[in-house]
Amino acid sequence: MSLRGVSFEIPNEPGRILLDILSAIDMKEYDWFLRNFDFPIQTMDGELYDSLEEFSVDQNVTGRELAKWLRGPSNYLIFAELFAFQSGQTEEVGMTYEWFQESNCQIAILIYDCTYVDIYCKEKHVSEAFYENAMKRGYTGIEWVTDDNDPRTRLSVWLE
């Protein structure tokens, strides 16, 4: 049984949940590729509007840029794909788990249907940090993702 990462369910409600998830690591140590974001921002009166334009298209951002953005207004996390690379080591992001294994990508985070989170990590201690963080925050359905229990071959929230 080879450890791939961790999965869990998050509350289906507005907040800063992605910031909470990423608090398991120092996100500023990484460069990030963001893909398939559907991430409406909540206004002061509780209304939702489309996410910040600069993050609505697939793109690379530094960990500092991502941290600054996530500390902004409350949001409603619907879909998101995040790929973390050691600073300065970004590359074209693939679509398969096989790509992830062979690439410089260290962490792949897939969030879908407002609730489900799958996190793939190259290093066991990073998977453990995400697992412990999910437990601390009271997320549900927390499980280790292994070769034995994960049928995923595509690293995307869309079936394309």
User: For residues 95, 85, 19 and 10, what is the CA-based torsion angle, rounded to 10 degrees?
Assistant: 40
Tokens 């080591």 -> residue: 89
Each residue of 108-146: pLDDT tens digit?
Answer: 999 998 899 999 999 999 999 999 999 999 999 999 999
Name every residue whose Cβ is closer than 8 Å to that of residue 111 and which is 6 or more positions away in sequence: 10, 18, 77, 79, 80, 81, 117, 157
Say if residue 54's pLDDT is above 60.
no
Each residue of 91-113: pLDDT tens digit?
Answer: 888 888 999 999 999 999 999 98
pLDDT band (50, 70, 90) for residue 4: very high
What are the structure tokens assigned to 39, written together? 């991430």
Say if residue 8's pLDDT is above 90.
yes
- Quote the mean pLDDT of the chain: 85
